[in-house]
Amino acid sequence: MEILVAIGIISLALAILVGSLAVGALGVRSAHRLTTATNLAADQIEVVKHAAYDPTGAYPTVNVPPGYTVTITATEVSTGLQQITVTVSFQGETLAVVGNYKVDR
Question: Which is nearest to 100 in space by CA: 39, 47, 64, 33?
Answer: 47
Q: How far apart are the first and last CA of the chain?
A: 83
Residue 67 has pLDDT above 90, yes or no: yes
- pLDDT of the residue at 96: 96
Please determine, for residue 34, whether its predicted confidence score (pLDDT) is greater than 90: yes
- C-alpha 24 chain-centroid distance: 19
The answer to whether the CB of 65 falls within 8 A of the CB of 36 is yes
pTM of the model: 0.79
Q: Does 88 have pLDDT greater than 90?
A: yes
Counting residues of the chain whose pLDDT is more than 90, the rounded percentage is 84
